[in-house]
Chains A and B, each alone.
Chain A
Amino acid sequence: MAQAGIHAGFPSPAQDYMDGIMDLNKELVRHPAATFYGRVVGDSMVEAGVDEGDVLVIDKSLEPQEGDMAVCFVDGEFALKFISFKDPGKRGSDAPKPGVSYNILGCKDIWLLSGNPKFKPIHISEGNDFTVWGVVTYVIKKIK
C-alpha cells in the first residue's frame, strides 16, 4: 500500500516493498469462511451510492446493527436494504442508536429501508417471512 495515500506525484518504486503489497483479500475480508460476493441488480440503493453491477462483499457472520446495509430474504426474494429498528413514521423516539446491535430474533419489529425514494419502507414483524442473509461490508465500484 502506498504510504500516506496517493498524492499526485510519482511514488517511490520501493514503496511496494516497505510493508508488503496490499492484498485485497486480507484488506476486505474479515471472516473468509463467512464472506461471499454478490453483484447488485436494480436501483433500490442508488441514492446510497450503490448501483447495478457493483460488487458487494457480504459477511454472514455479523449481527445486523441499526443502519446496516444487508442482503435480506423477504417473501421469497433477495433484496438489498438498510436495516432499522426505528419506526420511520415516528420521530425522536427513544429508539436504538446507530451501531447498537440487536439479536434479530429478539427484536420484534424491523423496518427495511431503501436507498431510493421510490421504494417505501417495509415493516417486518413476527408473522413475516424474513431473514438477514448477510451484512454488506464493502461495495466495489467499477470506474473504468
Chain B
Amino acid sequence: MYALVDCNNFFVSCERAFQPQLEGRPVVVLSNNDGCVVARSNESKALGVKMGVPYYQLRENSNGRRVEVRSSNYTLYGDLSRRVMGILREACPELQVYSIDEAFMVLDGMSLDQARDLCRSLVRKIRRWTGIPVSIGIALSKTLAKVANHFAKKYSGYRGVCVIDTDEKRLRQPLGRE
C-alpha cells in the first residue's frame, strides 16, 4: 500500500509559515530574479493567475495587482522540506522522497482504515510542527495514490486524506475529462 504525501502550494505555504497574515489571501512566489510565477495560493488560482506567468504580466493585470508577491527563498523551502520529510521518515522508515514537497510512504502490515488514521494524524502533526499543510492519497499502487492525492487536495471534505480502495472511487471524477 502506498501513501503519496504532497505539500499544498509548497513555496506559498513556506512563506505563510513565517508570515501568517498571508493565510487566506492571494499569494504568489516568483522564480529566481523574480522572473515568473512558480507557486500560487488557492486564492491566486481563483483569481485566474496561471502557473509560469511572467511577473511583468501579473503586474499589468488588475487581478494580478491584488496578489501578494514574494521572491523565492530556496534556503527556507529546503529547510522546511527537510523537516516535513523527517517527520514522515519517523513514521515510515522506507520513505521515498520524490521531490522537494512530495514523498511516497510504503505502508504494509496495516489495514486501509489504519493507514487513513495514521495519515490523518500525520497531516495534523506536520501542520502543527512545521506550519505546512499537506494532502495524502492512499491506494494499492503509486499511480492510484497520486490520483487519491489529487482528490484529497481538491476536496476539503476529505480533510487532507483520501483513500482509493474501490473501482467506484477510482472511476469517479476523471482528471481533466468531462
Contact = CB atoms under 8 A, between A and B. Distances in A.
Interface of A: 31-34, 60-61, 73, 76, 131, 133
Interface residues of B, number: 10
Contacts, number: 23
16 contacts: A31-B129, A32-B83, A32-B86, A33-B83, A33-B84, A33-B87, A33-B129, A34-B83, A34-B129, A34-B130, A60-B128, A60-B129, A60-B131, A61-B128, A61-B129, A73-B20
B21 interface: yes
A34 B79 CA distance: 11
A76 B130 CA distance: 19
A98 B76 CA distance: 35
Contact of B20 (A32, A60, A61, A133): A133
Contacts of B86: 32-33
A33 B20 contact: no
B37 to A, nearest CB: 25
Interface in B75-129: 83-84, 86-87, 128-129
Query: What's the dominant secondary structure at chain B's contact region?
Result: helix
Given A32-B86, A33-B86, A33-B87, A60 B130 contact: yes
Contacts of A60: 128-131
Contacts of B130: 33-34, 60
A126 to B, nearest CB: 18
Nearest to A60: B129
A86 to B, nearest CB: 25
A131 B20 contact: yes
A31 B129 CA distance: 9
Given A34-B129, A34-B130, 4 more contacts: A33-B130, A60-B131, A61-B128, A61-B129
Interface string B153-167: 000000000000000
B133 to A, nearest CB: 14
A32 B130 CA distance: 10
A76 B22 CA distance: 9
A131 B127 CA distance: 13
A14 B89 CA distance: 37
Contacts of B83: 32-34
Nearest to A61: B129
